[in-house]
Amino acid sequence: MHINPERSSRPDYALLERQVESVLEGERSLMTNAAQFSALVYDTLADLNWAGFYFTVPARKGEGLDLLVGPFQGKPACARIPFGRGVCGTTAVERKTIVVPDVHAFPGHIACDSASNSEIVLPLIKDGEVLGVFDIDSPLLNRFSDEDREGLERMLAAFMDGTDFS
């Protein structure tokens, strides 16, 4: 059962990893689990203005792949982002977590919300395939630390283990 701790800029990631497992227990639906995961992150980490998923889909124009917005918490977002564009698209291409202390200094940053100043984006990789990304924005500069990156990667691994993507 999810127990809502106060929002924290230094959360107990071991506890949050267990909470992910608890919240997803008995349900493997991608959309349900993605909605639950987004809500858990948004509700427990302090100083966020967006947290959510983008899933890999065929590009609407030409060849290649896009990221299409999925379940999230926060203001309306960019609906579609091409692989390679912005922090989310770069994360999908590079297949690694990207922490951006100041999004305004990131080449090609896509400003879906002008209030965002820092960002962390984690790739969703299963069986060698990039299935999408999990994106978190903050109105604060330098909001995300190595501790956040490591903790969020463990939480996302629990999400991936508990979710069917077919």
| pLDDT band at 1; cut points 50, 70, 90 | very low
Contact 72/54 with Cβ under 8 angstroms? no
Distance, in Å, from the CA atom of 75 to the CA atom of 105, rounded to the nearest integer, reads: 22
Position 18 pLDDT exceeds 80: yes
Position 46 pLDDT exceeds 50: yes
Dump pLDDT digits (tens) for 115-152: 899 999 999 999 999 999 999 999 999 999 999 999 99
- Print the SS3 string covering 64-111: CEEEEEEEEEECCCCCEEECCCHHHHHHHHHCCCEEECCHHHCCCCCC
pTM: 0.94
Dump pLDDT digits (tens) for 74-120: 999 999 999 999 999 999 999 999 999 999 999 888 888 788 999 99
Tokens, residue 101: 């202390």
- Looking at every residue in the chain, the average pLDDT score rounds to 94
**5 vs 78, more confident:** 78
Cβ count within 10 A of residue 48: 22
Q: Residue 139, class by beta-carbon neighbours within 10 Å (0-12 exposed, 13-18 middle, 19+ buried)?
A: middle
Question: What one-letter code names the amino acid at 15?
Answer: L
Among the listed residues 3, 1, 71, the one whose alpha carbon sits nearest the alpha carbon of residue 33: 71
Dump pLDDT digits (tens) for 21-35: 999 999 999 999 999
| Ramachandran assignment for 142, one of left (phi > 0), alpha (psi -120 to 50 degrees), beta (any other) | left
SS3 assignment, position 160: helix
